[in-house]
Amino acid sequence: MSAHTGTVPILAPGERDHAPIRLELEMTGAEGCAVRAFGVIVRRGWYLVAARLHPGLPGDKRRMTVEVLRRDESRSLETLKRQLERLYDMEAVSVYDPADDAQIAQSESA
């Protein structure tokens, strides 16, 4: 992640396998929601590379951008996404994988 722009740099095809995957988490402002999300990420076998909380959403809504890396190839991005969606006060989870150059999944949690 570029320290000046806050964006993920464009990577060559061989480097994309090791580029962080970006998760956009939308949650209500419940105490501990971010800490619960971090715990799920680590327990599911992912490295937490960066996290950024975006202030200024209406009401008690919060948005957080998290960048993660797989510890190994056996780690499922879909499993991580589903586990995050199940957290208390998690509203939505979007996944952006630089290997795909696009948003690959978005959900609205009930």
Q: pTM of the entire structure?
A: 0.74
Examine residue 2 and state whether it is found in any structural domain, yes or no: no
Examine residue 8 and state whether it is found in any structural domain, yes or no: no
Give me the CATH number covering residue 63: 3.30.70.260
pLDDT digits (tens), the chain, 110 positions: 444 344 444 444 444 457 899 999 999 877 788 999 999 999 999 999 999 988 777 778 889 999 999 999 899 999 999 999 999 999 999 999 887 754 554 555 44
3-state secondary structure (DSSP) of residue 69? strand
Query: What's CA 38's distance to the chain center, in Å?
Result: 10
Examine residue 14 and state whether it is found in any structural domain, yes or no: no
Tokens representing 104? 């690959």
**How many other CB atoms are found less than 10 A from the CB of residue 74?**
7
